[in-house]
Amino acid sequence: MTLVEHRIAGEKVAGPRTIDVENPATAEAVRQVGLADRAQVQRTIAAAQDALPAWRDTPAAKRAQVMFRFKMLLERDADAIVALLSEEHGKTLEDAMGELKRGIENVEYACGVPELLKGEYSHNAGPGIDTFSNHQPLGVVAGITPFNFPAMVPLWMFPMAIACGNAFILKPSEQTPSAAVKMADLLEEAGLPKGVFNVLHGDPEAVEALIEDPAVRALSFVGSTPVARKIYEGGANHGKRVQALGGAKNHAVVMPDADLENAANTLIGAAFGSAGERCMAISVAVCVGDDTADTLVQKVAEKASNLRVGPGTELGHDMGALVNASHRDKVAGYIDLGEQAGAELLLDGRKHPLVQESAGYYVGPTLFDRVTEDMSIYRDEIFGPVLCVVRVKNLDEAIALINRHQYGNGTCVFTSGGEAARRFTDRIEVGMVGVNVPLPVPVAFHSFGGWKDSLFGDLHAYGPDAVRFYTRRKAISYRWPESGSQEGSQMAFPSGS
């Protein structure tokens, strides 16, 4: 069986422990991955430190050229990368291709790093004094990424970090490790010096070593809220810069004046695409008025029941398997809890034929109506193909409901009215907001991040915030006195006037 190895300074290195990597559609082990111990983490950090000085001093335009070549190689090998994503995660090939394309957009943005790193300049900021600022890399930085986007989320992080002059260590999910090593190979082919980008597979032992080592100056993380909070606190306690993106419970408000056919169609993709294993998935539809709810629920139930569920590696399926058995059982358990709490179960994914017929980890589309705020299926992030419908009387009640929730990642409103849209976007306490856009994931030249328990740290992922996160601003003032001039001591605090 193929072993997925680390990439340390360009070398393939096996981990001392191995675990199986499964195809969720079949529950079969397709390869193994070696997990790092602390000694391998230290070796990787040392390799990144060795590569850093020369790369940091490489002109930004030359660093950008590596990113240009990397982008072309990603596009050249897109089909191979997409096949790995589908095989290890379970998502459909079409969904995997969409993930990769969104990731490549971040590489394109990083290609503009010479412009993005330009500082500011003030001539005669004070008497005979000029002041300028620049962006300088942090040093060795690391990214810890989740199973659900094995290509896109790493591409949120390392292209900009590397383009800014840092050395990067990627710790991908051990459940979906192959895309990371494929990208490492492509970076080397693109001309990136060895040691500037390293891939380290591991579990909590590796993560703790990255948190504790003082040579790692910053950590980027995407995953669940409990782990995000732990990494943020641990990194901050060790003096690191940290951005830790956590969980979500994303609401879509459906107004009575919305195009309900369009709302139903887009909700299907937003709720059940990628089997709901997205931090931006819509998991709650908040319907304003019973008439709106009755119509929407009927449309969604009909459309969801016709979704084609099956192996993601086979073309033509709308939804694949969940990532592993324990997560499948967790999602099914939430459906049990929703039923026990009294929610109206209109579509039961536990009864999908593949649940019984396939060895894979399937749960079909699930739809609950008349869900209330006290139910666990409303409060908790299920991370599966479960859509809950909550009924409210008006927009203000919908806004208050969403603002009370612990998460604030993404939300949207379906309406044809500008007044409602403006009130919603102004008053909602959520980081990413859509109007008739169910998955308001910002494009690469904006930044991605939520509020409340969905983000720990001050800076969001990718876009302009990535430049700020992976660099430090330095302000420099200089003055060249005229030859032969004599000046006395100035005891008062200097000012520019």
- Specify the length of the chain in residues: 497
- Nearest one of 222, 190, 213 to 47, comparing CA atoms: 213
Question: DSSP per residue over 353-421, as a string?
Answer: HHHHH-SS-----EEEES--TTSHHHHS---SSEEEEEEESSHHHHHHHHHHSSEESEEEEE-S-HHHH
Location of each CATH 3.40.605.10 domain in the chain: 3-246+454-476
pTM for the whole structure: 0.95
The pLDDT value given to residue 335: 98
- Residues 6 or more apart whose CB falls under 8 angstroms from that of 305 comprise 347, 365
- Nearest one of 249, 70, 92 to 158, comparing CA atoms: 70
Sign of CA dihedral 375, 379, 384, 388: positive
**253 in Cβ contact with 288 (< 8 Å):** yes
pLDDT confidence band for 355 (50 / 70 / 90): very high
End-to-end CA distance of the chain: 72
Strand partners, 388: 284, 368
> pLDDT > 90: what percent of the chain?
94
The pLDDT value given to residue 196: 98
Location of each CATH 3.40.309.10 domain in the chain: 250-435
Strand partners, 282: 250
pLDDT confidence band for 83 (50 / 70 / 90): very high
Q: Mean pLDDT for the chain?
A: 96
Tokens of 245: 């993106």
Amino acid at position 106, single letter: N
Tell me the HSE value of 415 on the side-chain side, using a 13 A CA sphere.
21
Coil, helix or strand for 285? strand
Q: What is the DSSP letter of 309?
A: B
The pLDDT value given to residue 485: 67
Considering the candidates 164, 279, 287, 412, report the single residue annotated as catalytic.
279
The pLDDT value given to residue 497: 62
Pairing of strands 197-199, 216-222: unpaired
For 382-411, how does the pLDDT look when each residue is reduced to its tens digit (9 = 90+)?
999 999 999 999 999 999 999 999 999 999
Coil, helix or strand for 299? helix
- Residues 6 or more apart whose CB falls under 8 angstroms from that of 438 comprise 252, 266, 267, 269, 270, 282, 412
279 is catalytic: yes
Q: What share of the chain is helix, strand, coil (3-state, %, to 5)?
A: 40, 25, 35
Burial (CB count <10 Å: 0-12, 13-18, 19+), residue 306: exposed
CATH class of the region 3-246+454-476 = alpha beta
Q: Which residue has the tokens 């490492």?
A: 184
For 257-287, how does the pLDDT look when each residue is reduced to its tens digit (9 = 90+)?
999 999 999 999 999 999 999 999 999 999 9
Q: What is the DSSP letter of 319?
A: B
Strand partners, 216: 140
Between CA 147 and CA 452 the distance in angstroms is 23
In this predicted structure, the answer to whether residue 53 has a pLDDT above a threshold of 80 is yes
The pLDDT value given to residue 245: 98
Q: What CATH number labels 250-435?
A: 3.40.309.10
Q: In 243-346, which ranges are continuous DSSP H helix?
A: 260-272, 290-305, 325-341
The pLDDT value given to residue 128: 84
The pLDDT value given to residue 482: 76
For 116-160, how does the pLDDT look when each residue is reduced to its tens digit (9 = 90+)?
999 999 998 888 889 999 999 999 999 999 999 999 999 999 999
In this predicted structure, the answer to whether residue 496 has a pLDDT above a threshold of 80 is no
**14 in Cβ contact with 2 (< 8 Å):** no
Burial (CB count <10 Å: 0-12, 13-18, 19+), residue 154: buried
175-196 as b/e: b if 16+ CB within 10 A = bbbbbbbbbbbbbbebebbbbb
The pLDDT value given to residue 483: 73
